Structure 1
Amino acid sequence: MDTIDQLLSLAELRMQTRDVRGWRQQAPRFLHQLRDLPVEEGHLLSQRLLAQYPLQEEADEEVLLLLAQINTFHPGVLVPLLPMLVARQQFSPGHLYLGAGEGMCQRILELLHAPSQGHWGQLLQALAWIGTKAVQAQFSTFRLHPPAWRTELFVPPENYSQDAGWELTADGRRRDLYFSTCYELIPIDQANSSQIAAEPTMGQEHCAWCQRPLQRVLDLDLRDPRCRWITAEGERLCLTVCARCSFYATTYLDITLGGEAHWSPLNGEMPALLHQIPDDGDVVKLPAPLGLGKARSTPFEAVGRFLLDEPGTSQLGGHPEWIQDAFYPQCPACQQTMSFLGQIAFEDWEEDGEGVFYLFLCLSCKKAATHYQQT
C-alpha cells in the first residue's frame, strides 16, 4: 500500500466509521505521513479524497476540513480544485484558500462586490488567508470606507485579517502576528531539550488579584539554536500564569530575558467577572512545562485540528489554532498588537485536559500575555 492509499485508509476512520477514539490514536501517524508527502502527491491525495467522498451537504464539512488540512501542510496544493469550490460557494474553512494566486483572489473580490452576495464573513476569511497585496488594498479601503453590509458583521471587515494571523498597519501594509518557525511542544521527558524535568516553580511571584503563586507554563533556553528566531539576546524566557485568574482573563507579565516573569501592574484591578466566581482558596498545581519537539514543516500545521479532533496542537511559534474566535491582545505599554508566541493545549499536559493557553510577546516592551480558551 503506497502512502496515498495509507492516508486515505486512515481518513476513512474519520469519514466513514466516525471512530473518534481510533482517529485520535492514528492522527499522529496521519499527520506524520502528510508532512512527508511530496507536493505533487498532495495534489493527487486531494483529488482522490474528493473522488472517494464527493461533496454532499451532509458530509461537506468533514471533507473540506481534511482538504484544508492537506493545504496547511502544502500551501497552494488545492489551487486546481478552488474553481470548483467557488462554484459550489464553499469558502469555509478559510485556509482552503491559503496559497491561492492572484486570479482566485480577483474572483473572490468580484463575488464580494456582487449585490446579491451574502457570504460576507466567509469571503472575507478566504481573502484573509490569500493575504496578497490586492487583499491588503481592499481591506485598507474597507477601513476608510466601510461597505453597506458592515452592519451584518460582528467586527469590521478589515479585522478578518486576524483569522489568518495578520493585521493592517496604519499605512495599509501587512504585519504578520505569528512566527514562521514552529516546533511541537511535547512532554519534557520525550523532548530533546535543555529544560530540566522538574515541578513547576511556585516561588515569590504571586497573582495580585487572588494572591496565588504564579506557575511556569513555558521555560525556554534562548541559547538553544532552535529558539534563536525569538531573539538574539538573553538566556532564558519564562512565562507564568495564575492557576485561577488566568483561566478567566488575559493576564500580562513583565519579563526579562534572564528568565524572570513578574505580574505586571498594568493588569490593573481584578475584573468584575472574577469577583462573581467563588474562590475556595485551593492552589491547583499545573504540570511541568512542555519541551521542544520536532520542527513543523509550515507554521500552519496546527490550524484546523480542533474541529478534526486531533491532539498535539501545543507548539512554539507558528500560527495559532483557535478554539473560539481569533484574539490577539494589545501590549498594555505600547498598545501594539502582540505577536503570537505559542500555545499549550491541556490535553498535551494531561489525558483528560481541556482548553488552550495562548502565549503572546511584545519584545520591545518586555511584555508577555496569556489568554485561555475552551469549548
Structure 2
Amino acid sequence: MTKEHQAIPCPDCNREKYFEGLCYWCKNRKERERYQAMTDKEVVSSITNIINKIETIKEWKDVYKDFCNLLAYKDIDTTEIAEAAFKKEIFYPHTIYRNVSVNVRDKLIEMLLQPDCEEASNILMCLALCGDDKVKDTFFKLEKNPLPWRKNLFVDLSIYAESGGWTFDEQGEKSDVIYHECYSLQKSNRHDNTVKAGTILKDKCPICDCNLIDILTIDGNDERLAFLQLKGKVHIPICPNCASMCEKTIIRYAPDGNSTMEIIEAYSDENYLSEKELNKLVSNKLTLSKTQKPIFYACGIEETCTIGGHAEWIQDWQYETCPECEKKMKLLSSISWNELIDGSDGSLYIEICTDCHIIIIFHQQT
C-alpha cells in the first residue's frame, strides 16, 4: 500500500482514516461542543446574523448550519427569525416557525385559507411546528372542508400536523406523537445502566439466523425517564440484520421485562451482518445523558441517538398506527446506525403505544 493510502489514526480517538486531521466523528463532536459552549451574547450575535442573511438560509451553508445547530444545541427562540423569514416569503426550513408571534401565525393561516395558495404544503409544515389550538382548529376545519389546493397534496392535514409532533382524530381531538422531553445516548465510560443499547441475546432470528439483540433496554423506573410512563424495565429485541431490511418489527412488551418480536415483510433470508460487526454493535459505550437535551437535539450536525424529542427524519416523518387501539404511536427513540457500527447508513425509529404495550421499529436509509 502506498504511503498516501495508508491509514492515519485520528489524533483524538485513534480511529483509522485516510486523510489528515480529525475524523468525521471527532470533527462533528467538537463542532457540537463549540455551539454548546456559546455565551448568551454569542448566541444573540449569531441569531442577528441569521436574520440579516435570512435570504441565504436556503443555500444549506453557513446560515442554515448555524440555525440548525443553535436550535439543536441551544434551544433558541425562533420568533424573530420567523418574522424575518416571513417578510421574505421564506418557508424552509420549517423549524424557523417553531416559535412565531400571533401576528405571523395569523398571516400564515390567512395565506392558507386562500383557495389558490401555492405554498400550502410548506405553510402547513410551518404551522404544524407552531401547533397551538388555533392551528389545530384550522387544520381540522380544512381537513373536513378542503380548499382547491388540497388536490395537490398527497396526505391529509392530520398527517401534516405530525411533522410538528402532534395530530388530531376524527373528532378534532389533539394528541402528541412525540415526547416533549429529550435525552441523548452518547459514548461515555460513566457507569449508567438506565438505557443499554445493543445487548446480545441467545436467541436466533427465525428468518436469517442472525443473533437477536435488545436494541434498547430501558429502565422506566429512572426518574429521568418518568415522562415515558413505562412502569418497569422494557426490553426491545430485534434482529440487527433484518431490522434494516424489513417493513417493520413489532414488539409486544410486558412490565415484567418479557418481550416478543415479530418481523413484518422481511426482504431477504440472508444474514449480511458479520460477527465482527455484531461484536462492534454490542460493545458500544452509549450512555443516557445526565440531563435533558433540547427537543430538537437530534437535528444538529452530529449524528446521535435520542430518547424522546423530535427525530431527524432521513426521509419523510412517519408515525405508525397502533395495531391494537389504532391510535397514533409516539416516537420513543431514534438511533443512528453509525453510532453503533462505524460507517453504517440510516437510522432506526422506535415508536410506542404505552396503553397497549406495543413498540414498532422501522428503518430509513440515507
1:112 maps to 112
Query: How far, CA to CA, are the matches of 2:149 and 2:352 in structure 1?
Result: 34
Q: State how many pairs are aligned.
A: 341
Per-residue CA deviation, residues 50-104 of structure 1 (Å, 9 max, x unaligned), is 54x5634873665235324424555562322323311222111111110213221
1:176 maps to 176
2:139 maps to 139
Does the Cα contact within 8 Å between 2:186 and 2:288 map onto a contact in 1? yes
- Residue type of the partner of 1:241? I
Which runs of 5 or more structure 2 residues have no equivalent in the other structure?
1-19
Partner secondary structure for residue 202 of structure 2: coil
Instruction: Identify the structure with the greater strand proportion.
Output: 2
1:226 maps to 224
- Residue type of the partner of 1:110? E
Query: How far, CA to CA, are the matches of 2:324 and 2:57 in structure 1?
Result: 48
Does the Cα contact within 8 Å between 2:57 and 2:63 map onto a contact in 1? no
Q: What aligned pairs does 1:1-375 form with structure 2 within 5 A after superposition?
A: 25-35=26-36, 37=38, 42-51=43-52, 55-56=55-56, 59=59, 62-73=62-73, 77-187=77-187, 189-194=188-193, 200-204=199-203, 206-210=204-208, 212-231=210-229, 233-234=231-232, 236-247=233-244, 248-264=246-262, 271=265, 274=267, 277=268, 279=270, 285=278, 287-288=281-282, 290-303=286-299, 305=300, 310-375=301-366
Identity %: 20
Which deviates the most, 95-104 or 280-289?
A: 280-289
Query: How far, CA to CA, are the matches of 1:371 and 1:20 in structure 2?
Result: 35
Does the Cα contact within 8 Å between 2:70 and 2:76 map onto a contact in 1? no
Residue 242 (structure 1) shift: 1.5
Does the Cα contact within 8 Å between 1:313 and 1:321 map onto a contact in 2? no
TM-score, L = length of structure 2: 0.81
Partner secondary structure for residue 185 of structure 1: strand
TM-score, L = length of structure 1: 0.80
Cα 1:354–1:190 shift into 2, 3 Å: farther
Cα 1:232–1:279 shift into 2, 3 Å: closer
Cα 1:369–1:151 shift into 2, 3 Å: same
> What RMSD, in angstroms, separates the aligned Cα atoms of the two structures?
3.1
- Residue type of the partner of 1:46? I
Query: How far, CA to CA, are the matches of 2:195 and 2:144 in structure 1?
Result: 51
Partner secondary structure for residue 365 of structure 1: coil
Which deviates the most, 102-111 or 69-78?
A: 69-78
Does the Cα contact within 8 Å between 1:311 and 1:347 map onto a contact in 2? no
Cα 1:136–1:85 shift into 2, 3 Å: same
Cα 1:118–1:226 shift into 2, 3 Å: same
Per-residue CA deviation, residues 205-257 of structure 1 (Å, 9 max, x unaligned), is x54544544211101223332223222622x1111211233212111011122
